[in-house]
Amino acid sequence: MIQVNDIHKSFGEAQVLKGISTSFEAGQTSLIIGQSGAGKTVFLKSLLGLHTPEEGTIIYNGQMNTEMTIEDRRDFRKELGMVFQGSALFDSLNVEENVMFPLKMFTQQSKEEMLERVNFVLKRVNLENSNAKFPAELSGGMQKRVAIARAIVMNPKYLFCDEPNSGLDPSTSILIDNLIKEITEEYQIITVINTHDMNSVMEIGDKIVFLKNGVKAWEGSSKEIFKTDNKAVVDFVYSSNLFKKVRQAYLNDL
């Protein structure tokens, strides 16, 4: 479990996070949503340990961020996987080498053992027979799947995704969402996704945290978001006519 207690983060005069508290459970897909500039990326980077909050604490399965040294933080990061918005695959390495990289860096496994694990995770993300391809030869969706494979190859306890659907077509988007959800439930990972994608919100959000101007304005599940009368959430999530109709239809069915 990740427990976030009243974290504050500023950059110069700009106060970006103004006291956010929440928690993320294992086996759940948690989404952070909000308008651009609401503090989502800073919040995610604080969870990752890339930013240190000025106030408040983040407790990862009982381990507090404020008690971690740089070396502790590096050790802790071996337990987390991250899928970046642009995939962040290493250009000079092929798919197999990209996925194998964390294993080479942090395990004593033989080449055969590493290869077996790499092939297993590539199969898990439906990317067999692409081992020798370089990132530049892959489509956006395939790159995201390689990034997911690399993120889960070390069996992480935590999976963080920054806009995993950006730049993808709707069908690939759904594929990636379902893949993340399946992996989260299968391996009981704590998954936190930073997203703008309302399909993801409604399809895979076990828990949704809505940020507005650096504060948590709402929290609930994908079921509850249909029923909420929080104006800020309604204005943000149901800004398009299509989603307004979807919500109306859902409420009418109840």
Partner 1 sequence: MNYIEHVGKYFMMLGQVFKAPQKFRVFWEAFLRELEELGLKSIGIIGFISFFIGGVIALQTALNISDPLIPKMLIGFATKRSIILEFAPTFCSIILAGKVGSYITSSIGTMRVTEQIDALEIMGVNSLNHLILPKIFATIFFYPFLVILGMFLGIFGGWVAGKATGMFYEADYVMGIQYDFNEYLIIYALIKTIVFAFIIATVPSYHGYYVKGGSLEVGKASTQSVVWTIVIIVVANYFLTQMLLT
196 binds partner 1 (CB under 8 A): no
- Which of 33, 89 has the CB closer to partner 1? 89
Of 20-79, which residues contact partner 1 (CB under 8 A)? Answer: 48, 50, 74-78
Find the part of the chain contacting partner 1 (CB under 8 A) among 96-104, 123-131, 137-145, 176-184: 96-104
We find the least distance from the C-beta atom of residue 61 to partner 1, in angstroms, to be 16
SS (H, E, C) the chain: CEEEEEEEEEECCEEEEEEEEEEECCCCEEEEEECCCCCHHHHHHHHHCCCCCCEEEEEECCEEHHHCCHHHHHHHHCCEEEECCCCCCCCCCCHHHHHHHHHHHHCCCCHHHHHHHHHHHHHHCCCCCCCCCCHHHCCHHHHHHHHHHHHHCCCCCEEEEECCCCCCCHHHHHHHHHHHHHHHHHHCCEEEEECCCHHHHHHHCCEEEEEECCEEEEEECCCHHHHCCCHHHHHHHCCCHHHHHHHHHHHHHC
We find the least distance from the C-beta atom of residue 90 to partner 1, in angstroms, to be 6
We find the least distance from the C-beta atom of residue 104 to partner 1, in angstroms, to be 6
Applying CB under 8 A, among 37, 84, 131, 196 the residue interacting with partner 1 is: 84
Applying CB under 8 A, among 25, 64, 66, 106 the residue interacting with partner 1 is: 106
Q: Which residues lie near partner 1 (CB under 8 A)?
A: 48, 50, 74-78, 80, 82, 84-86, 88-91, 101-102, 104-106
